Chains A and B, each alone.
Chain A
Amino acid sequence: MVDIALKNLLHDKLRSAITIAGVAFAVTLVLVQTGLFLGVMDNASVVIDHTDADLWVTSHNTANIDFAQTFSEGAVDRVRSVPGVARADNLIVAFMNVALPNGATEGTEVYALDDFQRWGLPWDVHEGNVTDLQRGDYMFVDESATKRFGPFHVGEYREVLGRRLQIIGTTRHALSFTTSPVTFMNYRLAQMIQPTLLGGYTCYILVKLAQGADTTVVGREIARRLPYNDVHTKQGWAAQSRKYWIVSTGLGLSMYVTVFLGCLVGVVVVAQTLYTSTMEHWKEFGTVKAIGGNNADIYRILAKQALIAAVIGFVCGIVLSWGMAPLLTQLGLRLIMPLWLHGALFVGTIVFCLGAAAVSFHKVASIDPALVFRN
């Protein structure tokens, strides 16, 4: 059988290239934008996702993990007494200033715990031993801080709110939506550095449930015993932290608008080029009808042309997006492009391209085969 759709595409190379470029552009736009969105959203909850806690106790109405509010650290004892709680610890999350060797000051988001290892934090240690944080005025700094702090090495000192701390380790992928570099230090040390705000106070209580304990039941009991606090499941707290940034920054809307525009560009380009192609092949399609073909024969040609453009354009878009990923990483942007996103985008590309072809279907249906006898 003659594959006229493919032949048409190969024959009109420029138009085909424009169609494929349109699809590739749309795919790249949607994939990169969504990938950046997922990257930023991942930053918003990355610490929650990696912390080995089943429940998070927060101050009442705390919006997200970065904007922590304090409450009495003694509350942790009441949590520990709740049946079904295997362990519970205080966690401080606070913004502090770091004096840099060049005299400048930069902000850092401090995570302070008594025993980091117990809670799986930090999850990607590059240098150093995290248990050493308990031994003195030490801190771990995430490597992403290089952009803001300048180069630093293990063994060097930095002043945090006037207190000299030694960097004894580095981590990777500990990020915050606020883009402030993340540092880790001992819980008591953080209180000593900022006694007025943190002395006797904590920001969160991390809760690990005993084996077989029911999350809802234990959570409800903690909430009953701590009526001025909120209790979140790990997933719920992560989702709330992400949602805060999506809604408050307009990031979600921006992402949806860009995705919509990407889809629109793809559909318009494909619809426009297929429609023009249909008009140019008007007489040929009339001939198909005259010799006994029907609308479905022509729909198949157009649909196949759209499908071929969709598949090639999709592949080009994927290659382009992955090609851009290292560049964006160098710029400090995280791009998360999971397999499900590729799958969804592929299905979307096919559906939108077929939809674009349908614009021409309507025109094809009106072709009068008698036109073949007109000059």
Chain B
Amino acid sequence: MMQQIHNQWTIEATDITKVFREGDEVTHVLNGVSLALKAGEIVSLEGPSGSGKTTLLSVLGCILTPTSGRVTVAGELADPSRPRRLAAIRRQFIGFVFQQYNLFPALSVVENVEYALNVKGITRGSRAIAEAAVEAVGLNDRRRALPCDLSGGQKQRVAIARAIASRPPVLLVDEPTANLDSHVGGQILDTFHTLARQNNQSLLIVTHDPSVRRIVDRVITIRDGQFVS
């Protein structure tokens, strides 16, 4: 459900660092980055491979905890010492769209969306909400199809429907056009743009694709774990 945000930022990350240690090897992936998105704002995060884009996305999504710094989502501080609360923040406030879609192969289009709602604790009327989300992404005629019978673009739309169905204030999207041709990629971006604006959702898109710039309000570039613009 759309949350009432008192702060002007729906998601805010302050001075985030992330260090990975493997034996004696220490890798500084994020070096003190700060980022904030307003409701309805669309931002792209660009950068070369290994620059820390996905790590930042994981930290913002409360999947990874930062080595230092703080993340606030919908006004609530993501406390790394409370993993159950982090999961609750993900359930309540964040919608994810993954590059590989990560759909459940045994579930139909509408069931994929409905199951995500169930996981988020929405059971009453979940089928109707899922059907509305599927309709919103233009897949109404394929709602009973299994993922294996869908094209890449259609799978991406299912992933979008799954992310938006619970109307979270924040959408985090990983390489949405990476596996699509430019025409379908363009349609997907339009869908994101329309839905984010319609629902007043903050949308952060991690991408290599310059065509994404067409729909965003801001572009942030990251290199070696630091923002460069």
Binding site for B on A (CB under 8 A): 1-2, 4, 7-8, 10-12, 283-284, 286-294, 297, 369-370, 372-373, 375
Are B96 and A372 touching (Cβ within 8 A)? yes
Are A293 and B104 touching (Cβ within 8 A)? no
Flag whether B21 is at the interface (Cβ < 8 A): no
Q: How far is the CA of A292 from the CA of B93 in the complex (A)?
A: 10
Nearest-Cβ distance from residue B154 to partner chain A, whole angstroms: 18
Q: How far is the CA of A356 from the CA of B105 in the complex (A)?
A: 24
Nearest-Cβ distance from residue B175 to partner chain A, whole angstroms: 9
Please judge, given known A-B contacts A283-B100, A291-B96, A373-B58, whether A2 and B114 are in contact too, CB under 8 Å: yes
Nearest-Cβ distance from residue A210 to partner chain B, whole angstroms: 69
Number of A-B contacts (CB under 8 A): 79
Contact pick for B98, options A12, A292, A373, CB 8 Å: A373
Stretch from B82-90, B192-200, B215-223 contacting the other chain = B82-90
Are B107 and A291 touching (Cβ within 8 A)? no
> Which residues of B sit under 8 angstroms from A284, Cβ to Cβ?
102, 104-105
Nearest-Cβ distance from residue A76 to partner chain B, whole angstroms: 75
Nearest-Cβ distance from residue B118 to partner chain A, whole angstroms: 5
Contact pick for A2, options B54, B94, B115, B120, CB 8 Å: B115
Chain B: CB-nearest residue to A10: B106
Are A292 and B106 touching (Cβ within 8 A)? no
Contact pick for A293, options B87, B99, B100, CB 8 Å: B87
Nearest-Cβ distance from residue A9 to partner chain B, whole angstroms: 8
Q: How far is the CA of A289 from the CA of B91 in the complex (A)?
A: 10
Chain A: CB-nearest residue to B113: A2
16 A-B pairs with CB atoms under 8 Å apart are: A1-B114, A1-B118, A7-B111, A11-B106, A283-B102, A284-B102, A286-B102, A291-B90, A291-B120, A292-B90, A292-B91, A292-B92, A292-B119, A293-B87, A370-B58, A370-B63
Q: Report, as a range, how many residues of chain B touch the other chain.
A: 35 or more
> Which residues of A sit under 8 angstroms from B98, Cβ to Cβ?
287, 290, 372-373
Q: How far is the CA of A123 from the CA of B91 in the complex (A)?
A: 71
Q: How far is the CA of A372 from the CA of B54 in the complex (A)?
A: 10
Flag whether B116 is at the interface (Cβ < 8 A): yes
Nearest-Cβ distance from residue B203 to partner chain A, whole angstroms: 17
Are A373 and B90 touching (Cβ within 8 A)? no
Please judge, given known A-B contacts A288-B119, A292-B92, whether A4 and B106 are in contact too, CB under 8 Å: yes
Q: Please give 20 more A-B residue pairs, beta carbons under 8 A apart, in addition to A4-B104, A373-B98.
A: A1-B123, A1-B126, A7-B107, A10-B106, A11-B106, A11-B146, A284-B102, A284-B105, A287-B102, A289-B87, A290-B61, A292-B88, A292-B119, A292-B120, A297-B119, A370-B58, A370-B63, A372-B96, A372-B98, A373-B63
Q: How far is the CA of A290 from the CA of B115 in the complex (A)?
A: 13
Please judge, given known A-B contacts A287-B98, A369-B63, A373-B58, whether A293 and B106 are in contact too, CB under 8 Å: no
Are A373 and B87 touching (Cβ within 8 A)? no
Nearest-Cβ distance from residue A292 to partner chain B, whole angstroms: 3
Please judge, given known A-B contacts A2-B114, A290-B90, whether A373 and B57 are in contact too, CB under 8 Å: yes
The 6 closest A-B pairs by CB, nearest first: A292-B91, A11-B106, A292-B90, A2-B115, A7-B106, A287-B102
Q: How far is the CA of A375 from the CA of B174 in the complex (A)?
A: 11
Nearest-Cβ distance from residue A99 to partner chain B, whole angstroms: 71
> Which residues of B sit under 8 angstroms from A375, Cβ to Cβ?
99-100
Flag whether B1 is at the interface (Cβ < 8 A): no
Flag whether B64 is at the interface (Cβ < 8 A): yes
Residues 160-179 of B, flagged 1 when their CB comes within 8 A of A and 0 if not, give: 00100000000000100000
Are B63 and A290 touching (Cβ within 8 A)? yes
> Which residues of A sit under 8 angstroms from B120, Cβ to Cβ?
291-292
Contact pick for A4, options B61, B94, B115, B123, CB 8 Å: B115
> Which residues of B sit under 8 angstroms from A291, Cβ to Cβ?
90-91, 96, 116, 119-120, 162
> Which residues of A sit under 8 angstroms from B118, Cβ to Cβ?
1-2
